[in-house]
Structure 1
Amino acid sequence: MATPRRALVVIDVQKEYFIGNLPVEYPPVEQTLPNIARAMDAAHAAGIPVLVVQHSTPPGTPVFAKGTTTWALHDEIGRRHRDHHIEKGWPSVFTQTDFADWLKANEIDTIAVTGYMTQNCVASTLFEAFHRGYAAEVLKDATGAVPYANAAGSATAEEVHRVLNVIFHSRFASVTATDDWIAAVQAERAIPMDNIPASNLRARQLARSAGTAATKAA
């Protein structure tokens, strides 16, 4: 694999997810926030540009209302080096921003994604990056999810985060841990991704193995 031309993208690490109406539950912020900070420090040390993203909504809205305490970046993010800042109003970092132009100007071919939420802005950005021809990486222990319950059903934050990362790694992004990402950065190497047929085959093999084990136990 060729050496990736990376940028680290730090998505919406804002106080809303810590003290506001959308508390991130899994992985816990006590784990993910330090990992995001470590990734930022490692990227800066390696000369990888760092892009910090901040979500904004109009005054009076229940989450991310611009200018409120919970709209602000977390202090650990705000005090660290960044090469570019984007304020967005849509889930994908690409939508109605200068993100694509910034990537092109900096000759980036691979985005490494951290931040919140796994099921919303992280997923939207990864999917759009894939369709635009970018490689992507996602740091599974430097991103996080919230639980949902609605007319379609319910899912815990752990279920949301785990399932989406399995999906990401099958097609859309190389899923890795922060320690492994930092090692790959320092070694200037790419992180491999899986594919849909292989991922599906393993799942069917696991199901068959489970069925065989259940039959023997009966």
Structure 2
Amino acid sequence: MEKTALLLVDIQNDYFPNGRMELHEPHKAAQNARKLLDFFRNNSLLFFHIQHLSQQPGASFFIPGTEGADIHETVAPLEGEIVIQKNYPNSFRETPLLTHLQEAGIEHVVICGMMSHMCIDATTRAAADYGFRCTVIEDACTSPALSIRGRTIPAADVHDTFMAALNGLYAQIDTADSFLEKMKK
């Protein structure tokens, strides 16, 4: 069986109600991510908490040292669990993630978290380019609504568009329950 690791990307307080960058249905995505985390914990499989910390001048969220930058309680790391801090959308850029995965002999990464159109997209494409087989758990990811040329694209459409774009060449798109059913076989 191929060696699999879970990446929980940026499930942080600023993306939840009263945060500085609230996303569409973050609790639903976090609950599905928690199902995955519980399975990986209970089966002693490798997983990584990824935490974004803003370094850009004028950044409005994920400010280091603020509660908003903390990983949300739904998927909060336990003592001794690996937390990889990043400063860019791509979870591999200037972090030890690739080294950890290679040293563990990981062939398949399961990716979930926030935001579908930014850090999930960048991390998935990078993982595929590094030769990992990727599965994105679409119901454990979410995005905000986005605007361009005076038009607002609803959050669900942003999310679905990015899942559709990743599906096939870069990743297999699945749901938490479907993925876990396959893993239990």
Scaled to the shorter chain, the TM-score interval is over 0.9
Q: Which has the larger radius of gyration?
A: 1
- Count of residues in Structure 1 that have an aligned counterpart in Structure 2: 183
Coordinate RMSD, CA, aligned:
1.7
Off by >4 Å, runs of 4+ in structure 1 = 79-82
Q: Which residue does the alignment assign to 2:86?
A: 88
**Structure 2 vs 1, CA of residues 154 and 4 (structure 1 numbering), >3 Å: closer, same or farther?**
farther
How big is the shift at 1:61? 2.5
Structure 2 unmatched runs, 5+: none
Choose the corresponding residue for 1:46, options 32, 40, 43.
Answer: 43
How far is 1:95 from its partner? 0.1
Q: Check the 8 A contact 2:117/2:158 in 1, yes or no.
A: yes
Structure 2 equivalent of residue 202 of structure 1: none
Distance 2:143 2:80 in 1: 24
Q: CA deviation at 1:114?
A: 0.9
1:153 CA drift (Å) = 4.6
Deviations 1:188-214 (A, max 9, x none): xxxxxxxxxxxxxxxxxxxxxxxxxxx
The alpha carbon displacement at 1:79 in A equals 4.8
What amino acid sits opposite 2:49 in the alignment? V
- Contact persistence 2:29–2:140 (CA under 8 A): yes
Q: CA deviation at 1:4?
A: 2.6
Partner residue in 1 for 2:21: 22
> Given the two structures, how large is their TM-score scaled by the length of structure 1?
0.79
Q: Percent identity?
A: 21
Alpha-carbon offset, residue 168 of structure 1: 1.3
What CA distance in whole angstroms lies between the structure 1 residues aligned with 2:182 and 2:80?
21
Alpha-carbon distance in structure 1 between the residues aligned to 2:159 and 2:107? 25
Shift of the alpha carbon at 1:151?
Answer: 3.5
In the alignment, which of 73, 76, 79 is matched to residue 78 of structure 1? Answer: 76
Write the distance in 2 (CA, Å) between the matches of 1:153 and 1:7: 38
- Does the CA-based 8 Å contact 2:34-2:75 persist in structure 1? yes
